[in-house]
Amino acid sequence: MTGRRVLLVAHTGREHAVEVAREAHRLLTSAGIGVRVLADEAESLGLEPVEVADDPDKAALDVELIVVLGGDGSILRGAELARPHGTPVLGVNLGHVGFLAEAEREDLERTVGVVVERSYVVEERMTLDVEVRANGALVTRTWALNEASVEKAARERMLEIMLDVDGRPLSRWGCDGVVCATPTGSTAYAFSAGGPVVWPEVEAILVVPLSAHALFARPMVVGPSSRLGIELVPGYDGRGVLWCDGRRTIDLPRAARIDVRRGDKPVRLARVHTAPFTDRLVAKFDLPVLGWRGAADRKNGNGKNGRTS
């Protein structure tokens, strides 16, 4: 298959997603754009004509875009395929909130039209690089788009951890864990744990303790060049686990150290809408804004600090 092509990724465990994938395939191929799918999804999707990628590590190679049909979990899966090759990801939400998605199901035809016309824009989202060490030896390296969380492995036991920032000790907590998140991930796990919402263009790393038994255990925001160290305190019996984006998990050795820093490679997200992030927050979280008079009142000279009523 030559010419333009996209990688189509779908949540094939849901019949609705399969139906939408078939419609997207029809729209794309009708416009002369070839479609590639993952080998483990090809049979369920039943698309023709289609190119099948047998090696998932190379599935995003030489495609102009990954179109993901599903919720945030599916989009994070698409990000895993895309990041090594710098391929942009465009999410069409078939889930609930779908904060990473750029379009909704009812916008599919328009969204495909934007792809055909190449009128989308691409923005880079900061990632995290994560290393796990035990006794000074590297155990594994991984990464995250939303967050890397160190959590207790057993419900009945807490973790005892020490946090350091840029090589200096900050605090020791008995806790359920700690979340290190990007601005993209500030509306995900970190938000549920009480962290702040951070606008995507802000470069920073969030640190959100989970149920910490300590006076100083508030969410913190550090600079993008800061390096975070999370140590499981030696001699403490609690076992830990590392989760990255809720998808990749690593059992942590006793007395492990987890180093978190800004990722070397961003994830590139394709945008088809120009609405500001504020509007996305309002829409996704169904925030109450009825009665807002700010813009009109300021224009007429009647506004008072743009407050809503």
Torsions phi, psi for 282 (to 5 deg): -60, -45
- Tens of pLDDT, residues 240-258: 999 999 999 999 999 999 9
Residues 163 and 106 in one domain: no
User: Residue 134: which domain range?
Assistant: 128-262
Q: Is the dihedral of CA 110, 279, 182, 222 positive or negative?
A: positive
For residues 188 and 195, the answer to whether their CB atoms sit within 8 Å is: no
Residue 298 pLDDT: 54
User: Does 79 fall in a domain?
Assistant: yes
User: Does 88 fall in a domain?
Assistant: yes
pLDDT of 303 > 90? The answer is no
Residues 98 and 174 in one domain: no
At position 91, the amino acid (one-letter code) is: G
CA distance 205 to 256: 21
Residues 165 and 248 in one domain: yes
Residues 9 and 52 in one domain: yes
Residues 65 and 142 in one domain: no
Residues 115 and 133 in one domain: no
Catalytic residue among 40, 55, 57, 72: 72
CA distance 28 to 275: 25
Residue 1 pLDDT: 46
* Percentage of the chain modeled with pLDDT above 70: 94
Per the prediction, the chain carries an average pLDDT of 93
User: Does 298 fall in a domain?
Assistant: no
Q: In 3D, which of 179, 143, 132 has the Cα closest to residue 159?
A: 179
Could you give the 3-state DSSP secondary structure of residue 60? Answer: coil
Residues 186 and 231 in one domain: yes
Residues 223 and 110 in one domain: no
Q: How many domains does the chain have?
A: 2
pLDDT range class, residue 297, cuts 50, 70, 90: low
What CATH number did the domain enclosing 209 receive? 2.60.200.30
Residues 73 and 144 in one domain: no
Residue 295 pLDDT: 66
User: Does 228 fall in a domain?
Assistant: yes
User: Does 276 fall in a domain?
Assistant: no
User: Does 170 fall in a domain?
Assistant: yes
pLDDT range class, residue 215, cuts 50, 70, 90: confident
Residues 132 and 114 in one domain: no
Residues 104 and 197 in one domain: no
pLDDT range class, residue 235, cuts 50, 70, 90: confident
- Tens of pLDDT, residues 47-78: 999 999 999 999 999 999 999 999 999 999 99
Annotated active-site residue 55? The verdict is: no
User: Does 270 fall in a domain?
Assistant: no
Averaged pLDDT, 265-292? 93
Q: In 3D, which of 107, 116, 86, 75 has the Cα closest to residue 273?
A: 107
- Tens of pLDDT, residues 77-118: 999 999 999 999 999 999 777 899 999 999 999 999 999 999
Task: Write down which residue in 119, 147, 175 finishes a domain.
Answer: 119
- Tens of pLDDT, residues 172-210: 999 999 999 999 999 999 999 999 999 999 999 999 999
Averaged pLDDT, 145-165? 94
CA distance 69 to 75: 8
User: Does 300 fall in a domain?
Assistant: no
Is the pTM value of this prediction over 0.85? yes
Task: Write down which residue in 93, 119, 145 finishes a domain.
Answer: 119
Residues 134 and 258 in one domain: yes
Task: Write down which residue in 262, 282, 303 finishes a domain.
Answer: 262
What CATH number did the domain enclosing 103 receive? 3.40.50.10330
pLDDT range class, residue 308, cuts 50, 70, 90: very low
